[in-house]
Amino acid sequence: MSDLARKTENPIRSIWEGCKSTPNPSKKLITLQIGDPTIFKNFLAAPEAKVALRKALDHDNFSYMSCAGLETSREAVAEYVNKNYKGLTTQDFQPITFNDVILTSGCSMALEMCFRVLANPGDNILFPKPCMGYSTWIVGCGVEARYFNLDPNKEWEVDLEHLESMINDKTKAILINNPGNPCGNVYSKEHLLNILNVAERHKIPIIADEIYEFFTFPGVQFYPLAALSKNVPILTCSGITKRFIMPASRMGWIIINDRNHLLDSVRKGLFNLAGRNFVPNSTLTRALPEILRDTPQKFFDDNSKALFNHSLSAFSILKTCDGLTPIMPKGAMYLMVKIELEKFPNIKNCLEFSKILLSEQSVSVFPGFPCFNFPGFFRIVLTVPEELIIEACGRIKMFCEKHYKHDGDKYLKSG
């Protein structure tokens, strides 16, 4: 086995799936684990997207395309971005053109290409803590993942001082995930400007994982990092997998925002890397312009509203659970819950909390560690139908009632 294969590990897939724990056979399993909104069929792709795909299929002759994707489709992404960014940009923002767009196989591939194009073995990239398993893509290549803290008490804002302290001369990029997974954070304009300020002073480009762009709860404004940046080059990674509820479409993109030509060689490098795989799939590529143009705003609004309601339901139950503190998200489709582990004397850590919860209550959640490199928490997904979220949170409450030790109990025990 090659070094690359040996060192590549997806913390969610391998560590958690390898844990031997089975649901309680007398209770129906409710899974709050996987961030795929389609599983329960309550969130599905827009009918307009299916119409676009059927049409595209009829027109497709399945010939090879340019390796960055069909020009008209890249053009459509540029148009989609420019339209969405309207009113949110700095005065001198230059509209995106198709030349700035590379289509990829999902946001995952977009991210991997950005990591690959910026860092050599021995370099490092900075990631938020908590975050999803970005290290999967880099550790096998000899690139170091370094982590800066997000603060759960400040709506998951970046600890800017800590971020700055993690930068050294081998730091090639900072990754910012907004709206975020697993936290559901959506950053204010001011906070994003502060992050840009750090990057600018150290002359480090930012990889903006904005796969949940504009996927925020009602009344919460999302600001694209590239729309706010004056001087910091931003590689924005996104796609249709989450906001358009098409996870397995594997359609994503990179947008190169570099108005001062600081990353010309990186731009060239990204196109070189695109030549490795000729992605993505031709029918989806042909359907993309119509998917982007015809999916009605109502589709997005309805989904956001539903997810907001789910988050309120989950939050209102979880905040009454002994020993738990849920943190209300502002967007995306997840909610993080803090566990006061010292109040659960028979449970060592959040991984064990998750395993015992599954075996007793048949509710599966992802533990903050190892899944998101953040011990003491667990994450639930909000895309599950509301009645199941309510049922699952009720079971979590029973679980906590059983295992929580009140101070008085300890006193009794020791006395």
Question: Which residues here bind ligand PLP, judged by CB under 6 A?
Answer: 35, 106-108, 132, 177, 181, 209, 211, 239, 241-242, 247, 252
Q: How many other β-carbons are positioned within 10 Å of the β-carbon of residue 17?
A: 9
Shortest separation between residue 21's beta carbon and ligand PLP, angstroms: 24
Alpha carbon distance 415, 411 (integer Å): 6
H-helix segments, 119-215: 135-138, 160-166, 189-202
Record the tokens describing residue 179, joined without a space.
């709206």
Shortest separation between residue 239's beta carbon and ligand PLP, angstroms: 4
- Please identify, using beta-carbon distances, which residue of 35 and 233 lies nearer to ligand PLP: 35
Shortest separation between residue 249's beta carbon and ligand PLP, angstroms: 8
At 191, the amino acid letter reads H
- Please identify, using beta-carbon distances, which residue of 185 and 361 lies nearer to ligand PLP: 185
Shortest separation between residue 412's beta carbon and ligand PLP, angstroms: 45
- Please identify, using beta-carbon distances, which residue of 256 and 317 lies nearer to ligand PLP: 256
- Please identify, using beta-carbon distances, which residue of 32 and 211 lies nearer to ligand PLP: 211
Shortest separation between residue 280's beta carbon and ligand PLP, angstroms: 11
- Please identify, using beta-carbon distances, which residue of 183 and 392 lies nearer to ligand PLP: 183
Alpha carbon distance 140, 193 (integer Å): 33
Q: Is the Cα torsion angle 90, 94, 95, 97 positive or negative in sign?
A: negative
At 154, the amino acid letter reads K
| Close Cβ partners of 398 (under 8 Å, ≥ 6 residues apart) | 361
Shortest separation between residue 181's beta carbon and ligand PLP, angstroms: 4
Q: What is the DSSP string of 322-349?
A: TTEEEE--SBTTEEEEEE-GGG-TT--S
Record the tokens describing residue 198, joined without a space.
């750090």
CA dihedral 351, 357, 359, 365 (to 10 degrees): -70
* Residues paired with residue 236 on neighbouring β-strands, in sequence order: 208, 255
- Please identify, using beta-carbon distances, which residue of 207 and 324 lies nearer to ligand PLP: 207
Q: Measured at CB, which residue is nearest to ligand PLP?
A: 106
Q: How many Cα atoms are found within 13 Å in the side-chain-facing hemisphere of 296?
A: 5
- Please identify, using beta-carbon distances, which residue of 227 and 279 lies nearer to ligand PLP: 279
Buried b (16+ CB within 10 A) or exposed e, 85-117: beeebeeebeebebebbbbbbbbbbbbbbbbbb
- Please identify, using beta-carbon distances, which residue of 177 and 361 lies nearer to ligand PLP: 177
Shortest separation between residue 58's beta carbon and ligand PLP, angstroms: 26
Shortest separation between residue 322's beta carbon and ligand PLP, angstroms: 30
